Amino acid sequence: SILILGACGQIGTELTYALREKYGDNTIIASDIREGNESLMDSGPFELLDATDYNALEEVVAYYEISEVYLMAAMLSATAEKFPMRAWNLNMNSLFNVLNLAKEKKIDKVFWPSSIAVFGSNTPSENTPQNTIMEPSTVYGISKQSGERWCNYYFNKYGVDVRSIRYPGLISWKTMPGGGTTDYAIEIYHKALTSKTYTCFLEKDTKLPMMFMDDAIRATLLLMESDSEDIKIRSSYNLAAMSFSPEEIADSIQSRIPDFNITYDPDFRQEIADSWPNSIDDSQARIDWGWKSEFDLEKTTAEMLDNLAK
């Protein structure tokens, strides 16, 4: 069976739903440091679990005969800047726990999310290549870059089947966002429907790589179901769908809600966003395991407004 760590998070929640849909509710064990929303808690087995506690993790893996782990527990970019050592501890020790379980052959396969946050201000910012300069300037980015190096090491040294994707900013409606710099692209839809106005914490021309959650979940399952020998990258794959600025997402909302308006009041997250690329080259993922995005900004706005309006 499959264990999801951080199952109550933005990606974890949707991965849990998708995996339960595909493989059956009782083969997917959701876990997190806290309980999740009702529909998650009602949809199958759940364990309260601290991903940094190796012994507790080992017990759950043995009890449920886990063969695959999706490690979705982490502290994201904005929050990590406020608590650097807590972020490093959570992001890295949870990864070491899962990689070591795989090294000890207690599990067979690992998914671990990286991020466009591994890139820094001197990385080529347009169509950022799979292999390029990476000098991340955020705690979160440093933890993701280091995590990628460890994944690659465990694959090369111990044959651990760990697979990873550098997610862009993810847009979803099933959960509230938590501590990300790209969260403005979620909050803006909620505000468009409730108060028809949004004060954006990034400048209007801050272009960032983004993706609708359905694309991200489909990519994750596609990667995890691919043959191991097709996976040439064991650090983490670039993945892309679209790039837009706050001004552009506001325009796409105004085309459906004409009287929606946006103002800009940048905060500390501007500096984080400025260090990240504008767009990503994901040709290696397309070649190695047939990736192709399906949601552009217009489709994303339609999905977000339709589902949030219900």
Q: CB of 154 within 8 A of CB of 99?
A: yes
- Between 49 and 87, whose beta carbon lies closer to ligand VAH? 87
- Between 30 and 272, whose beta carbon lies closer to ligand VAH? 272
Q: Which residue is nearest to ligand VAH (CB)?
A: 180
Under the criterion CB under 6 A, does residue 210 sit at the interface with ligand VAH?
no
Give the number of residues in contact with ligand VAH, rule: CB under 6 A. Answer: 12
Under the criterion CB under 6 A, does residue 139 sit at the interface with ligand VAH?
no
Tell me how many helices (H) and strands (E) the chain has. 12, 12
Measure the CA–CA gap between 75 and 92, rounded to whole angstroms.
Answer: 10
Of 63-71, 113-121, 185-193, 232-240, the window that binds ligand VAH (rule: CB under 6 A) is 113-121
Phi, psi of 112 (to 5 degrees): -135, 125
Min CB(74)–ligand VAH separation in Å: 9
Under the criterion CB under 6 A, does residue 182 sit at the interface with ligand VAH?
yes
Under the criterion CB under 6 A, does residue 51 sit at the interface with ligand VAH?
no
- Of residues 247, 244, 281, 270, the one with CA closest to residue 126: 281
Measure the CA–CA gap between 278 and 13, rounded to whole angstroms.
Answer: 27
Instruction: Draw the binding track, 141-170, toward ligand VAH (x: CB under 6 A; -: no contact).
Output: ---------------------------xxx
Phi, psi of 231 (to 5 degrees): -95, 100
Burial class (CB in 10 A: 0-12, 13-18, 19+), 184: buried
Under the criterion CB under 6 A, does residue 76 sit at the interface with ligand VAH?
yes
SS (HEC) of 125-158: CCCECCCCCCCCCCHHHHHHHHHHHHHHHHHHHH
Under the criterion CB under 6 A, does residue 206 sit at the interface with ligand VAH?
no
Q: Which of 17, 64, 140, 198 is catalytic?
A: 140
Measure the CA–CA gap between 126 and 306, rounded to whole angstroms.
Answer: 32
- Between 29 and 165, whose beta carbon lies closer to ligand VAH? 165
Single residue of 51, 102, 116, 240 touching ligand VAH by CB under 6 A: 116
Measure the CA–CA gap between 97 and 284, rounded to whole angstroms.
Answer: 29
Min CB(193)–ligand VAH separation in Å: 21
Of 42-50, 178-186, 219-227, 281-289, the window that binds ligand VAH (rule: CB under 6 A) is 178-186
- Between 171 and 250, whose beta carbon lies closer to ligand VAH? 171
- Between 44 and 168, whose beta carbon lies closer to ligand VAH? 168
Under the criterion CB under 6 A, does residue 181 sit at the interface with ligand VAH?
yes
Under the criterion CB under 6 A, does residue 117 sit at the interface with ligand VAH?
yes
Q: Which residues pair with 238 in a beta bridge?
A: 166
Under the criterion CB under 6 A, does residue 91 sit at the interface with ligand VAH?
no
Measure the CA–CA gap between 262 and 191, rounded to whole angstroms.
Answer: 10
Min CB(121)–ligand VAH separation in Å: 15
Active site residue 140: yes
Q: CB of 71 within 8 A of CB of 6?
A: yes
Burial class (CB in 10 A: 0-12, 13-18, 19+), 299: middle
- Between 2 and 118, whose beta carbon lies closer to ligand VAH? 118
Chain contacts with ligand VAH (rule: CB under 6 A): 76-77, 115-117, 140, 168-170, 180-182
- Residues with catalytic function: 140
